[in-house]
Structure 1
Amino acid sequence: MSTDNMQSGNRKFIERMKEIDPDFFKTSGAGQNPDYFVIACSDSRTDPETITSSLPGRIFSHRNIANQANVNDDSFRAGLYYALAALQVDAVIVLGHTGCGGIKAVKDGVDHAELAPWLAVIQNRLESQTADLENLSVGELEKLNIQAQVEHILSTSAYREAGSDIPVIGGLYHTESGEIEWL
C-alpha cells in the first residue's frame, strides 16, 4: 500500500488553501477557533468537514462507531469538555447518517468480541428510548440514536458547567443524497 495518493492530495490541499487565503497556514498554526463540536460516525463517507464544505479549523470533531456520546469513553469526555470550556464552541452537533453499520449491527444482533461492548451501550441507550426496538426500522433507529445522544450530552456535567445557552443539535446525513436533515 502506497501513500502516493495521500501525498498528492496533500499537495493539492496546500495549493488550494493558499489560493483561498495566502496566510491560511500562518493563521492555522497560531491556534484553532472552531464554531462547532461535532460528534460523528467513523464511517468514511461522513467526514463532517467534507460534507459541510468547511475549511480546516471550523469544526472540532470526535468520531466513533454510530456517533456515540459515551461518558465511559475518556476521549469523548475530554473532547466535549475541551470544546465547551477551552474552545468555547457556538454549538454541539450530533451527526448521524443513513446506512449506519453500527446501528444496523445493533438491529441485527451482531455479537463480535471486539464490537459487543460498544454495541451493547448503543442497544441499552436505544432500549431506554423505546420499548418497541425490534419493530423499528434501521432508519428510525438512526434518528432515535441521534436524539438519544443529544439528550445524553445535555445531561453531562461538562455541558451543565458550560451553561445551557449552547445549543445541542441533531442531524442525519443522507448518504444517498448528500443532504443533512436537522432533527
Structure 2
Amino acid sequence: MTTYSEIFENNLAWIDAKKAAEPDFFENLSLDQKPDYLYIGCSDSRVTAEEMMGLQPGEAFVHRNVANLVVSTDLNVMSVINYAVRFLGVKHIIVCGHYNCGGVKAAMIPKDMGLLNPWLRTIRDVYRLHQEELDDIRDEAARYNRLVELNVQEQCLSVIKTASVQLSHTQSGCPTVHGWVFDIKSGRLKDLQIDFEAKLKDIKKIYNLFE
C-alpha cells in the first residue's frame, strides 16, 4: 500500500520520467486543452480513464461519479457536458460503466441506503424500465452485468437529451455519444455499439430542442 508521503516521491519520479522522454512535456501540457473525448465514468478506484484508453494528459476531459450517472438535475455533470461540448468542442462523449460496480449492485438491493437513496433511484429506475428482461435472467451475476450495460445505455440517452449536445450536433455533426463497459477481470473495453444517430432520431419527438 502506497503511503501518503510516497505519493509525493512518486510525483517527482513521474516528473523526471516525463521530462526524460519529452523535455517540453510540461510546457506543452500548460497550453490550452483541446481534448477530442469527454469521458463520463464511475468513481471506482479500480477504473482509471486515461490509462485504460491509452491516452495522454490533455486528450480526455474526465468526469466521474458513483455508477457513471447522467442526471439532469446534477449541475456538476450538466456543467461538464456543456463546457466540453460548447467550449472544448469534443468530438466524442463516452459513458463508461464497469462490471462489478458497487453502485449498481447497491441499487439491486431493496433496502434503505440513506443519503444514497436519491442517487441510486436513477439506477433502480433503469431496472424498472427493463424489469421484464432482467427478471428473466436467472443467474444473479449475469443479471447484475446486464443492468450495468442497461444503465450505461440509459445514461447515454440522458446525454443525447441535453440541449448542448443536440445544438452542437445540428451545427457541426459532433459530438457522437458512445456507451462502453470496462471488464475489470480482463481489462477489456466493451463497446455497446449504441446507434447514436438512430437514438437521436428516436427521441426527437419528445426531447428535440432545436428544429
Q: What is the aligned counterpart of 1:143 among 128, 145, 149?
A: 149
Whether contact under 8 Å (2:37, 2:93) holds in the other structure is yes
Q: What is the aligned counterpart of 1:152 among 158, 179, 186?
A: 158
Q: 1:39-78, aligned counterparts within 5 Å?
A: 39-78=40-79
Whether contact under 8 Å (1:107, 1:134) holds in the other structure is no
Q: What is the aligned counterpart of 1:170 among 163, 174, 179?
A: 179
Q: How far does the alpha carbon of each residue in 1:40-92 deviate from its partner, in whole angstroms, 9 at most, with x for none?
A: 00000111012122211111011001101111111100000000010001100
Counterpart of 2:209?
none
Distance change (3 Å), C-alpha of 1:34 and 1:147: same
Write the letter of the residue equivalent to 1:151.
Answer: L
Counterpart of 2:126?
125
- TM-score relative to the length of structure 2: 0.81
Identity within the alignment, %: 32
C-alpha displacement of 1:119: 0.3
Structure 1 consecutive aligned stretches of length 4 or more whose deviation exceeds 3 Å = 129-136
Q: Aligned-pair RMSD on alpha carbons?
A: 1.7
Whether contact under 8 Å (1:18, 1:24) holds in the other structure is yes
In structure 1, runs of 5+ residues without a counterpart are none
Matched, 1:115 2:116: yes
C-alpha displacement of 1:135: 4.5
Write the letter of the residue equivalent to 2:186.
Answer: S
Structure index of larger Rg: 2
Counterpart of 2:93?
92
Give the total of aligned pairs: 183
Whether contact under 8 Å (1:93, 1:168) holds in the other structure is yes
- C-alpha separation in 1, matches of 2:111 and 2:97: 20
Whether contact under 8 Å (2:35, 2:58) holds in the other structure is yes
- C-alpha separation in 1, matches of 2:81 and 2:60: 13
Q: How far does the alpha carbon of each residue in 1:85-107 deviate from its partner, in whole angstroms, 9 at most, with x for none?
A: 10001100001101000110111
- TM-score relative to the length of structure 1: 0.92
In structure 2, runs of 5+ residues without a counterpart are 138-142, 193-211
C-alpha displacement of 1:130: 4.4
Whether contact under 8 Å (2:38, 2:93) holds in the other structure is yes
Distance change (3 Å), C-alpha of 1:19 and 1:130: farther
Counterpart of 1:179?
188
Write the letter of the residue equivalent to 2:148.
Answer: E
Whether contact under 8 Å (1:150, 1:168) holds in the other structure is yes
C-alpha displacement of 1:20: 3.0
Whether contact under 8 Å (1:65, 1:102) holds in the other structure is yes
Whether contact under 8 Å (2:126, 2:150) holds in the other structure is no
More off after superposition, 80-89 vs 131-140: 131-140
